[in-house]
Each structure stands twice: as C-alpha cells, then as structure tokens.
Chains A and B, each alone.
Chain A
C-alpha cells in the first residue's frame, strides 16, 4: 500500500531559499541570525496565506500587449524595508540606472529573463501575453529570501551574515520568474515529484538566464544556483549545484546541502512539501548531463528548447512524475535529431531513470517524406512533428499496407492519424 502525503497548501510558495535552510539557521545561528531567519519564516508563511488573493489580482492585472507583439515593460519598486507591496516606484522601462545597486540588478535581471524567453523561445513574457515584469527591492528588514507571488518578484536585502542581497544572483530572478511560466503552462503541483520538477525547471531556466547573460557555453558555466548569495564566512558557494547536487554548501549553521544526484538517493520526506527543493537535484543533474551530452556550445539552445517544449507539452500533467517528464523530454528531443534524443536518454539514465517510449495517437499530421529499400519490412515515414519513424516490422504484408497508406497520403497531400512512439509507427488512418 502506498501513501500519498496530503498538504494543506499545494500551491507554489516559490521562495528561492528553502524552509529547511532557514529552519537550520533559526536553530543554530547567532541570536541575530536566528531572529532574521525566524522573521523570514514568518513572512514566508504570510506570503503563502496571501497567495490566493494575489492570484485573483493577477487575473485582473492589465497586460497591455497586443497579440503577437513582444512587450517588455519592467517596473522596479522599493519597499523601503517595509513589507508593503509593491512599494514606491523607483525605475520604469527605459529609465537609466541609478546609484542603488539592488534596483539596477533587479531591472537588469528581469530584462535578461524576458530576453531569454523572447529571443530563444519566442515567449512574450511570463504569460506569453506581454505581462509586465514587476520587482520590489529592499523588502523587510534583513529578509533572507526572494519570492514570486504570482504577480511580482520580491527581493530581500539579506541579513548580511548568512545571505547577501538577493538581487546579486541573476539566476534567482530567472528561477522565480520561471515559476510564473510554469504556473501559466504545465501548472505542476507543488509537492513531491511534480513539485521537485517545478523547482528544477526554475533552476534550469534560471541557470540559462545567467549563462546567456554571461555568454557562457555549457562547459564554461558553473551550474550553480544562487552563487554570491551566501555571505563571506559561510562554507559554501551557492544554494544548489546542478552539476554536482549535494555539494553547494556544508556549513555549521546551514548544515549540508541535502540534494541527491540519483534516484537511488531519492529523499522521502514530508518537510519542504515533500522535498521539492531537495529532490530537484535529480532532474537538475539530468538537465546538466543532457546539455553537456548534446554538445554544441550553448545550453539554452538545444537542451533548453527541449525542456521548454516539454514544459509546454500538453501531455505533461499537473502531477507528472520524474519518469513521465523524462519520457516527454526524450520525445521532444526527437525534433532535434537522433543524437539529441540519445543524449537526453543517456542523461536520465545517469540519474537512474530509464526513458520509456511514449505511444500515442497523433491526429491530422502530414506525411512529409517516405523511404524504403528492397529489404524486408523496411518502410519509413517522416511524419509532421515526429521526425523519421520506422513502420513496426511485424509482418511483411502488414508493413507494405501501412507503407502504401503513408506513401499515398504524402503523394496526395492527405492528412493521417498515426499511432506512434519515438521510434516506430504502429497504426495509421488516412483521412
């Protein structure tokens, strides 16, 4: 009998610093550190309770972009160390930088995130409809977090002894805004494996925002999430490492980075919504391995496009598991060729997940090319959005009949419904 943990709150809290780190500081830090951590935990709890109202506000927000036009409109506010949102407007789109580094970093980070999504993936802001990008800096006093609340981004200044200001890490902004993208697309539930996928997707695109802004190849990138966030004196380099999960920090106050890098070390826990910030290390490592395995130069190109296509894939369910997501990444990798698919399959194998074929009906597709030779049962078709697939070599006459249908459909520009997976075609209708 299996047990599924039930959470009273399965929505995305979407804070960059997971609760177990703050709880560790609240337990083991100095008096000042404990006070700051406890205040941050209290504020995070308040954010969660406010989220429903904020989501309603989002539905009423004015997204002014016309259909199809990319619309980048950033607005940065300061909370002036209060917790009122959004605060006082301090910089709007097109205005130059000022003397406040947090304002400048927030403005640039939101812009870099928008630019990655628009230039590489053709996405028009978070909601793909030109949603304004709003950020508030100087939130609270010594607030040790940054979060996305479905309407805007919010950045604390950090307490200065555990964490630095949260605008210092551009990938943090990419991470948090990507929670908005996931909320507008796959809507992955924020618990257990779908929640860890939700976190991982934010880490993936957060890292890609950073890599693209720095002009780094996959091999050059540090693959750290939140590098620079930890104050001097803390034994660690970042919040997480996608390249080597579990190695980002090991500190007397923070504890040791708990992320696993393989399914054999999957952490079963009820804390952190079922370990969403912990087990995300597994799909994080898979993406890193895929980006390196695919080769080329930039991770945001082929690897990023495969993950982005998967995020938009209607077959991703709100409660998708690692296995289901992995299968779909391999399926989406087909668009980029057999080598890309093989790299994705190998990447998931590297974290203990064996990709399985996805068999599904696909409707009203064009047959773009067909191929055969005089060898027995060797018929192939290139079906729209699928790539080359071999007809299942079950019987000679059966292959011939299916091949004749596909050839006829191509020759006379007729659509087909095909029952296929990543490698073979099993059935077809000509329609």
Chain B
C-alpha cells in the first residue's frame, strides 16, 4: 500500500448512510474519498473528525491509499 500525504486542506463536504463503515469526505482540491473500512468504530472516528473540520472550518492533514483512493489517517489542525 502506497500512502500519499496531504497537509492543511479544508473539508468541503461529508457524506454517510446507515450502511456499515460507509463514510466519505470531500477534501479541498481532491475527489470524494471513502474512509478505508478497516473497522466500524475506526471509520466512525475518522468521520467524526471530518465532520468537526467541516463544521468549524479547521483544516485537516493526513494520508490516503494511492491504490484505492481511500482515506487512511487524519489530523485535525
């Protein structure tokens, strides 16, 4: 798995549904990315952070899997 890092980007939109481990974030200048569905609670934690960034206007840094395009780590800045 090759990870691609990004820094200090805004969260434009977030999306979810009641399906298990289904959380998405639209990060500035990037396509919509699904949170990598490794675990249900871990997906929720990622989604919590994305929603807080969106609501507060804070930026995020982190990484995504270059192969799947899925979000892998997130920092709230």
Contacts and interface: CB of A to CB of B under 8 A. Distances in A.
Interface string A356-395: 0000000000000111111111110000000000000000
Residue of B37, B46, B56, B76 with highest tally of chain A CB at under 10 A: B76
A400 B56 CA distance: 19
Interface residues of B, number: 27
B42 A377 contact: yes
B39 A407 contact: no
Given A370-B75, A371-B74, A374-B37, A408 B52 contact: yes
Contacts, number: 77
B45 A372 contact: yes
A178 interface: no
Nearest to A402: B45
Contacts of A403: 45, 48-49
B44 to A, nearest CB: 5
B53 interface: yes
B42 A373 contact: yes
A205 B33 CA distance: 55
B9 to A, nearest CB: 15
What does DSSP make chain A's interface, helix, strand, loop or mixed? mixed
Given A396-B39, A407-B76, A373 B55 contact: no
Given A372-B42, A372-B73, A400-B45, A407 B52 contact: yes
B76 A411 contact: yes
Interface in B47-77: 48-49, 52-53, 55-56, 58, 71-77
Contacts of A408: 52
Contact of A372 (B21, B56, B74): B74
Interface in A61-105: none
A376 B38 contact: yes
A397 B42 contact: no
Query: Which 7 pairs across A and B sit closest by C-beta, in order of nearness?
Result: A396-B41, A376-B39, A411-B56, A374-B38, A374-B42, A411-B52, A372-B45
27 contacts: A371-B76, A372-B45, A372-B48, A372-B49, A372-B74, A373-B38, A373-B42, A373-B46, A374-B21, A374-B36, A374-B38, A374-B43, A375-B39, A376-B38, A376-B41, A377-B41, A378-B42, A379-B45, A396-B39, A399-B41, A399-B45, A403-B45, A403-B48, A407-B48, A407-B76, A408-B52, A410-B52
Interface of B: 21, 35-46, 48-49, 52-53, 55-56, 58, 71-77
Given A369-B75, A370-B76, A374-B35, 10 more contacts: A369-B77, A371-B73, A371-B74, A372-B45, A372-B46, A374-B37, A374-B42, A375-B42, A379-B45, A411-B52
